[in-house]
Structure 1
Amino acid sequence: MQVKINGKEIELKFGVKFTRELDKIAGLDVQGASFGMGLTKTIPALNTADPAALSDVIYAATSTVLSFRPSQDDVDDFIDGYEGDLEKLFDDVIAEMGKANAIKVALKNAQA
């Protein structure tokens, strides 16, 4: 899946690197100890159309971009200024996540 942020087409990848990055952004941290759980916390938020969760997912999915990785603010601005159907963007992101071997089981279990 590709999105256009700051005039640049960016490929979103939902693999293990995405999961690790999402854990850093939205994971559970207790007294300095990281417990992951980024997917577990984020999937329900995506399903309720939480724009902050969508921003976190898109930002984490850019973790493999080498030439130009947008900042979290860039992604927030992308969502704030999105001219298409925002509900469809949520659906498209969730559908792409469901295709990724590394996370499709977690996504399926969270939606059960």
Structure 2
Amino acid sequence: MDEGKVNKNKNKNHNMILENREKVSISGVEHVNSFNSEVIILDTVAGLLTIKGQELDVSKLNIEDGNVVITGTVFSMQYSNRESLGSKSSGLLGKMFK
């Protein structure tokens, strides 16, 4: 991993606010890997975050600031290491062009 990116990530905060299981505000987001109405996968400074639910929608997205707001019914949120799921090329565009 690039040392500059590691130092950059250490300075970024990662916060999550879940409101009534219907709205999630997340900071420290670097990339939206994939999303649909049941699963959203985000690359955050703390690792990959998988959010599962029903009628999920990315209602606000600002990657420059690293802020995302998701609405819908949240069933689960789970972190995993980037290395365990492969490279970033397997994201949304990578899947589309296979």
Which TM bucket (shorter chain)?
under 0.3
Higher helix proportion (structure 1 or 2): 1
Normalising by structure 1, report the TM-score: 0.25
Q: Higher relative contact order at CA 8 Å, sep ≥6: structure 1 or structure 2?
A: 1
